[in-house]
Structure 1
Amino acid sequence: MEFPRIQRHEADEVVAFLTAEEWPFHTEPKTDGAAVHARVAGGAYDDAFWISEGPDRLGLVRLLDLDDGTPLFDLRVRASARGRGAGTAAVRWLTSHVFTNHDTNRIEGTTREDNHAMRRIFTKAGYAKEAHYRDAWPGPDRWYASVGYAILRQDWQTGTVTAVDWSG
């Protein structure tokens, strides 16, 4: 799998990818193409990467808040490519990319409580569950819990997962 950086001149491809299907576990399941064009032009995808396998684009992963010391990321894997390890490979690659190229101590991510695939990806990639915010994520039919995960630089370096002390 390869992770080429998305270029601003690829705005049409980014729009086509994001509007081709719905993203049920994201806050905006239907993507507005004009808004994506504006975000790409404004630099919001300057730290984004295609998830590619040969000529096929399986997804994309975008870094957010890279300059504030605790970056987040947005992962999108095409429905037809899910369940084949692309998401796990992308999160592992992104984690290595961030810790190798940036001076940050942790990377965070959140997902909806019922996004079991993403929760497995976090675990497989060495992220620890750190938060469970009840009724924090609006859905089409009800409120869902938002579940937060993070990985520490030291855990990435040693291949361990530091347990969260839930007693305090």
Structure 2
Amino acid sequence: MEIQFSEFKISQKQELINFLSCGSWPFHSTPNLSKDKLENQFDEGYFIGEGNKTFLILNDDGSIAGVMRLFDLGSGPDDDETPLFDIKIKEEMRGKGIGKQALKWLTDFVFANYPNKLRFEATTRIDNTAMRKVFEHCGFVKEAHYREAWPDADGNRYDCTGYSILRSDWQNKTKTPVKF
């Protein structure tokens, strides 16, 4: 499947809010996002602002297939904070390889544009098997398991796992195992 990536622009605010509020994100803490909540997040700099960037995943026809948000990018070239990301792919687009393409692109973006970043990481729920496979495919290594650390909207608690990729592994196309 052919997709493109585009940095989110303020002029696309309504399109982003409509996309996120019309979808269901079952492996996220808030699976259904209201337009009001998204408006507040936008106003607070959640999508764009210091240390945050958002990218749209676009289909051939320019429609949004997904959204990626980078956060904890830090505030300058000397900031060694480890960036994290969130990805949401439209339900009917899931299972088509978009997650793999998107994570590879996002990893390249982080390491190419932020030379001070030595790691890139994310967490996902233990039952999000598809995302865990995407991490593995894209060179990320599981380095943490958090027990009952991920609450959902109904009060259930799930284990979650942490994955990361090191700049050196990205550069050398290797996977350095965790030394437990």
TM-score range, shorter chain: over 0.9
1:85 and 2:97 equivalent?
A: yes
The Cα shift of 1:138 comes to 1.4
User: What is the percentage of aligned positions where both structures have the same residue?
Assistant: 40
TM-aligned CA deviation for residue 8 of structure 1: 1.3
Q: Which moved more, 1:41-50 or 1:57-66?
A: 41-50
Contact 1:8 1:40 in 2 (8 A): no
3-state SS of paired residue (2:174):
coil
Match of 1:110 in 2: 123
**Mapping 1:1-168, distance limit 5 Å:** 1-46=3-48, 47-54=53-60, 55-67=62-74, 69-102=81-114, 103-139=116-152, 140=154, 142-166=156-180
Q: Shift of the alpha carbon at 1:36?
A: 1.3
For the residues of structure 2 that align with 1:18 and 1:53, how far apart are their CA atoms?
Answer: 16
TM-score, normalised via structure 1 length: 0.94
Q: CA deviation at 1:165?
A: 1.1
> Structure 1: 5+ residue runs without aligned partners?
none
Cα distance, 1:136–1:42 mapped onto 2, change above 3 Å? closer
Give the CA deviation at 1:10. Answer: 1.2
Give the Cα separation in 1 of the matches to 2:119 and 2:41: 25
Aligned-residue offset at 1:11: 1.2
- Of stretches 99-108 and 38-47 in structure 1, the one that deviates more from structure 2 is 38-47
What is the distance in 2 between the residues matched to 1:115 and 1:56? 25
Shift of 1:122: 0.6
What displacement does 1:141 show?
Answer: 6.3
Separation in 2, partners of 1:9, 1:29: 25
Q: CA RMSD in A?
A: 1.3
Aligned length: 166
Unaligned runs of 5+ in 2: none
